[in-house]
Amino acid sequence: MLEEFEIGQSLKLAVTQWADRAIGHFKDAMSAEQTYLRWNDPRMYTKGGDIWVNEEWWIDTAQKLFKKKDKEFNSLGGHTALEILAYHFPAQYRDIAIDKINKWYSQAGLHDYEDWLDLAAITIPDHPFILEIQEDIDCWRDLAALANMGNEKALGRCKEIVSESIAESDFFDIWDILSRLTPATIHKLLSESDIDSIQQEAKSVASRTVDSDDYDLFSILYPALKLEWFDVLNGLAANKILLQKFQQNCSFFGSLYSLCDTHVLEWSLSPKQEFTQLLVLLSLQHTNSSPYFDLVKRMTTRKEFCLKDLPHMSMDKEIALAIAWKRTSVV
């Protein structure tokens, strides 16, 4: 498929220079509390050090932000700054983190509990609020977060869902759950037989040659990366239907197509560097033009909604594409 496209060295150099500038602006924005710290987003950052930023930068930034904003802890970046510090310096920051969690829980109950899950996972995974929410988990995100903490009820519920889905040959929920679980949790949760059954289904999806729903084609990538299913990655990269779907969605939705950002970031974590570069360039080609965006502007009576929200969405898209490109451009 890639032989149909040629990416010259001059273009690679120009995009690399753009990516470096975008990453620099993004790091400045995080330092200045103009956007959230993305340390805990595994698609955007590989802990321990990534091509575009190292762990020392996060520690230094977290120390500055936490010192500055400790009294206004719920400000932009406060939670993540403390997560970084408690992760690296538990002797110094664990008790501080637990005290913050206790104060929130005593004052607010479970209000906005999702903001505290990552901090609890690092410092006190058996906190009473965790034990309370485990009784009534209503979304995959929270279920997976508790399962990754080793919560037995969440693990049991995940296993039940996966087993039922395999038995019914309905893999819709499986892709979503596996994309949120760590590889260690997946192996703890599932038998080798279950994993093999899921891999065979992923291979079947990756080799589809007829037009079908987008969901499966885009959803199997992240589980395949986590479980190192290179046959699935090869099948997806060679699948012309996937590329056609990607181009169609980028062209129609433009900068409003958030799945594009996620998908490109996932590919950038794979060995498929040239394919990732192609997806980045296709995305950039359609970022600022979209018949869908024009339709939204005509249909909505809240025109300020589009004008206000698009710059933030564009920034997220820009940094996602910049990070993905940077990961593939280092010799």
19 and 82 housed in the same domain: no
127 and 192 housed in the same domain: no
79 and 38 housed in the same domain: yes
DSSP tag of 4: G
Q: In which domain, by residue range, is 154 found?
A: 136-238
Q: What is the DSSP string of 222-289?
A: HHHHHTT-HHHHHHHHT-HHHHHHHHHHHHHHGGG-HHHHHHHHHHHTSS-HHHHHHHHHHHHHHTT-
pLDDT at 69: 64
- The candidate with the shortest Cα–Cα distance to 218, out of 259, 177, 277, is 259
Q: How many domains does the chain have?
A: 3
38 and 24 housed in the same domain: no
How many C-beta atoms surround the C-beta of residue 74 within 10 A? 11
Q: Which of 133, 159, 181 is the last residue of a domain?
A: 133
Q: Which of 238, 260, 291 is the last residue of a domain?
A: 238
DSSP tag of 142: H
203 and 262 housed in the same domain: no
Q: How far apart are CA 60 and CA 12, in angstroms?
A: 31
Q: Which of 220, 238, 256 is the last residue of a domain?
A: 238
Each residue's pLDDT expressed in tens, for the chain with a length of 331 residues: 554 556 778 888 888 999 999 999 999 999 998 888 999 999 999 998 899 999 999 999 999 998 876 555 555 557 899 999 999 999 999 999 999 999 999 998 888 898 899 999 999 999 999 999 988 887 888 999 999 999 999 999 999 999 999 999 889 889 999 999 999 999 999 999 999 999 999 999 999 877 666 778 889 999 999 999 999 999 999 998 888 888 877 765 554 456 678 899 999 999 999 999 988 888 887 665 444 344 434 433 433 333 333 333 456 778 999 999 999 976 4
40 and 28 housed in the same domain: no
Q: Identity (one letter) of the amino acid at 141?
A: R
